Amino acid sequence: MKAQVAHVADPNQAKYEVASELHVPLQRGYNGQLSSHDAGRIGGRLGGSMVKEMVRMAAQAMNQKS
C-alpha cells in the first residue's frame, strides 16, 4: 500500500519519493543529519495517505456488502 499511495512500483522507494517531493535530503543509509521534524514530515505524509486509502477501501467494501 505504501508504494500505491506514493505512486511508485517499489515500496522501499516510497519514502525517497516523498522526501524528494518535500525537498527533504533523505539518503540511503545513515541519515543522522535529518531533523526529527523532516523525518516526521516524510512518515506523516506516507502514513496519512495510507490511512485515507484504507478508509476508502473499507467504505467501498461496506458499500459492496449492502
Global confidence as pTM:
0.71
pLDDT score for 35:
96
Beta strands in 1-66 (DSSP E): none
pLDDT score for 15:
92
Q: Is pLDDT above 90 for 1?
A: no
Q: Of 20, 9, 10, 64, which Cα lies nearest the Cα of 45? A: 20
Q: Encode pLDDT of 2-61 as tens digits.
A: 777 778 888 889 899 999 999 999 999 999 999 999 999 999 988 888 899 899 999 999
pLDDT score for 56:
92
- The domain locations on the chain are 2-65
pLDDT score for 12:
84
The answer to whether 5 touches 49, Cβ cutoff 8 Å, is yes
